[in-house]
Amino acid sequence: MKKRLIFILIISLIIIIISGLFLIRSCIKNNLKIKLNGNDNIIIKYGEEYQDEGVTCTYKNENLNDKVKIDSNLDIKKIGTYTINYEINYKTVSKKVKRNIKVIDDEKPVIKLNSFDELVLAQGRKYEELGAVASDNYDGDLTDKIIIDTSKLDTNQIGDYEVIYSVSDSSNNESKIIRKVKVVEKADSNQKIAVLNYHFFYENWDEGCHENLCEKMDRFREQLNYLRDNGYYTLTMDEFTKWMYGEIDIPKKSVLITVDDGAYGTSKVNGNHLIPALEQYKMHATLFLVTGWWDIKDYQSDYLDVQSHTNDLHYEARCGHRSKVNCVSYDDLLTDLKKSIEVVQNTNSFCFPFYDSTESSVKAVKEAGFKIAFVGGFRKASRDDDKYRIPRYPIYDSTSLSKFIDYVN
C-alpha cells in the first residue's frame, strides 16, 4: 500500500512538472512574436534590385531580430517563384514565417529593321528581304525567333503593302514592327534617269561655303520637297548599278542623287547638313568620298551610300588634263583606287574628279573592279550610255527650282 502511494505521488509530481513546463512553453509561445515587414507576396521585375524588408521579432519587450535565421533561394537574375523563410528559435520555442517572391519579365523585346523601314519597288520586281534583328532584356538575341509575314505582299500589283515582323520572348511578351512596301509603275526599258550632282551644303552664309557649288539648305530642302510631293523615288547606288546592267526594273519616276568630295556640310563633323536632311525625308543619296582626306565613320547613314572618289588624287593638275587622276602613272592610279576600295568596301561605282577621264584612267577604273563611273554632262543617263562615263546634272547655287524640275522631268 505504501509503495502504491509513493508511485501515485511520483506520477502526480511528473504530471505537475510537465504541466508546468507546458504552461511555461505556452506562455513563451504566446509572447514570442515574429511578423513580416511589408507584404507576404511580392512581385519584382527582372533587372530590378530587391531590398528585403525583413521581419520584426520580439519576446515581450525584448527585440530578437538579430536571432532570426533567414533562408532564401531567391535569384533576382532568373525568372521564377521563390521563398524567403524567417525562423526564430527561442527558449525551446520555434516560430516561422515566409515571404513569396515572384520575379517576372514584362518588358517587350526590341525589333530593329535592317536598313530602310520603307521600300519602293517597281511593279514586278522581286521583293528581297532585308531582315531585322531582335533582342530581349532577359533572353538576349532573339533574331532567329523573328517571324516575317509577307502574305499580303504582291509586287505584281501596284499598291501599298506591309511586311510584318513579330517576335516573342520566353515570357510571351510580343513585339511587332512594320516595313512599308510601295509598289509603283516601272520604268520603260528606254527610260532615262536624271543623276543629280551636288557638292557642298550650308545653312547660313557665315559658315564660309562661298563657292558656286555650295547649296543652301533651304534650296536643297525645296528640291527634296518637290521630289517627295511629286512621287519621285531616290535610287540607291546598288539599284542604279543593277538597272544600268538590266538586272532590275526601277520606278518610272526615279532620280539618283550624288554628292562629290565629302567637304562642307556633308558629314557629321563638318557641318552635318546632308545626312539629317536625307534621314528626315527618307531619301537616298550617294557620296563620292575622297577617302584619304576624311574619316568614313563620319558619313554613316542608312540613307547615304559611300563610294570612291579616289583616295588622294583629287587635285588639279597641269599635264594637259585638269585632274591628277590623268597625270599619274597607270600603276600609281591603280594603287590609289585600291586604297580607296579598302575604305569604302564597295566597287559599285567611281566618280572622276573634275569630271575628267581618259581611256587609260577608264581602263584603270575597270581593272580596279568598279562596275560604273560618273562624269558631268548635263543630260540624263540611259542604259545605252558608256557605263564608265555616266552623265550627271551639276547643281549650282544658281540652279533655280524650275531648272531643277526640268532636269528631273
**391 domain-assigned:** yes
pLDDT at res. 151? 96
Q: Report the Cα 226 to chain-centroid distance in Å.
A: 29
Binned at pLDDT 50, 70 and 90, residue 277 comes out as very high
Residue 291 forms part of a structural domain? yes
Cα separation of 34 and 58, whole Å? 7
Q: In what order do the strands lie in the sheet with 62-63?
A: 32-36, 55-59, 62-63
Higher pLDDT, 274 or 20: 274
Q: What's the residue count for the chain?
A: 409
pLDDT-based confidence at 28, cuts 50/70/90? low
pLDDT in tens, 357-409: 999 999 999 999 999 999 999 999 999 999 999 999 999 999 999 999 999 99
**Does 7 reside within a domain?**
no
Q: Which residue has the higher pLDDT, 18 or 343?
A: 343
Q: Is 363 part of any domain?
A: yes
Q: Say if residue 38's pLDDT is above 90.
A: yes
CATH for 151 = 2.60.40.10
Per-residue pLDDT band for 210 (boundaries 50, 70, 90) equals: confident
Given a cut of 80, whether residue 64 has pLDDT beyond it is yes
Dump pLDDT digits (tens) for 142-190.
999 999 999 999 999 999 999 999 999 999 999 999 999 999 999 988 9
- Confidence (pTM): 0.81
Average pLDDT, the chain: 93
CA 209 to chain centre: 33
The answer to whether residue 29 sits within a structural domain is no
The pLDDT-based confidence of 25 (bands split at 50, 70, 90) is: low
User: Do 79 and 148 have their domain in common?
Assistant: no
What is the structure's pLDDT at 16?
A: 59
**pLDDT tens readout for residues 88-99:** 999 888 999 999
What is the percent of the chain with per-residue pLDDT over 70, rounded to a whole number? Answer: 93
Determine the pLDDT at residue 208: 82
Is the model's pLDDT at 7 over the cut of 70? no
Domain end marker among 49, 69, 104: 104
Q: Grid coordinates representing 294?
A: 576624311
CATH code of the domain containing 344: 3.20.20.370
Q: How many domains does the chain have?
A: 3
Tell which of 44, 75, 104 closes a domain: 104
For residues 148-161, one letter each, b for 16 or more C-beta atoms within 10 angstroms of the residue's C-beta and e for the rest, the string is: eeeeebebeeeeeb
Q: Measure the CA angle with vertex 85, ends 83 and 91; round to 5°.
A: 170
Assess if residue 8 is contained within a domain: no
* Same domain? 122 vs 88: no
Residue 24, pLDDT > 70, answer no
Residue 25 lies in a domain: no
Co-location of 266 and 239 in the same domain: yes
pLDDT at 205 over 90: no
State pLDDT tens for residues 102-148: 999 999 999 999 989 999 999 999 999 999 999 999 999 999 999 99
Q: Which residue among 184, 215, 231 closes a domain?
A: 184
Statement: residue 44 has pLDDT above 60: yes
Closest CA to 232 of 206, 250, 216: 250
Residues 119 and 100 in one domain: no
**In this predicted structure, what is the pLDDT of residue 27?**
63
Q: Which domain holds residue 177?
A: 110-184
Model pLDDT, residue 8: 64
Cα(198)–Cα(263) distance, integer angstroms:
11
Angle at Cα 207 formed by Cα 202 and Cα 209, nearest 5°? 60
- Domain check: are 251 and 280 in the same one? yes
**pLDDT tens sequence across 319-352:** 889 999 999 999 999 999 999 999 999 999 999 9
CA-based max dimension of the chain: 146
Task: Round to whole Å and give the CA distance between 124 and 154.
Answer: 9
- Whether residues 151 and 207 share a domain: the answer is no
